[in-house]
Amino acid sequence: MKRDVPDIFVIGTDTGVGKTVLSLLLMRYFYDEGFSPFYFKPLQTGCRDPYDTDSDAKFIYDNIEELKGRDPAGSVGFCYRNPKAPYFAARDEGRQVDWKTLPGTLQEKRSRFSPLVVEAAGGIFVPVDGESLVIDTIPSMGAQPLIAARAGLGTINHTLLTIAALERRNIEPLGVVFLDSAEPATPLDMIEENREAIRRFSRVEVAGVVGRVSDFRHPAPECFDGLKKLFARSV
Do residues 8 and 117 touch, judged by C-beta distance below 8 A?
A: yes
E strand or H helix at 157, and its extent? helix 155-168
pLDDT tens-digit readout, 34-61: 999 999 999 999 999 999 999 999 999 9
Q: How many CB atoms lie within 10 A of CB 81?
A: 16
Short-list 40, 39, 32, 29, CA closest to 229: 29
Q: What is the pLDDT of residue 3?
A: 58
Do residues 179 and 25 touch, judged by C-beta distance below 8 A?
A: no
pLDDT tens-digit readout, 7-22: 999 999 999 999 999 9
E strand or H helix at 207, and its extent? strand 206-210
E strands, 74-191, in order:
76-80, 116-123, 144-150, 175-179
Q: CA 171 to CA 186: how far, in whole Å?
A: 30
pLDDT tens-digit readout, 49-98: 999 999 999 999 999 999 999 999 999 999 999 999 999 999 999 999 99
Do residues 82 and 92 touch, judged by C-beta distance below 8 A?
A: yes
**What pTM does this model have?**
0.95
Mapped onto helix, strand or coil, the DSSP state of residue 19 is helix
pLDDT tens-digit readout, 169-200: 999 999 999 999 888 999 999 999 999 999 99
- % residues pLDDT > 90 (the chain): 94
DSSP-derived letter for residue 23 is H
E strand or H helix at 102, and its extent? helix 102-110
* Catalytically annotated residues: 41
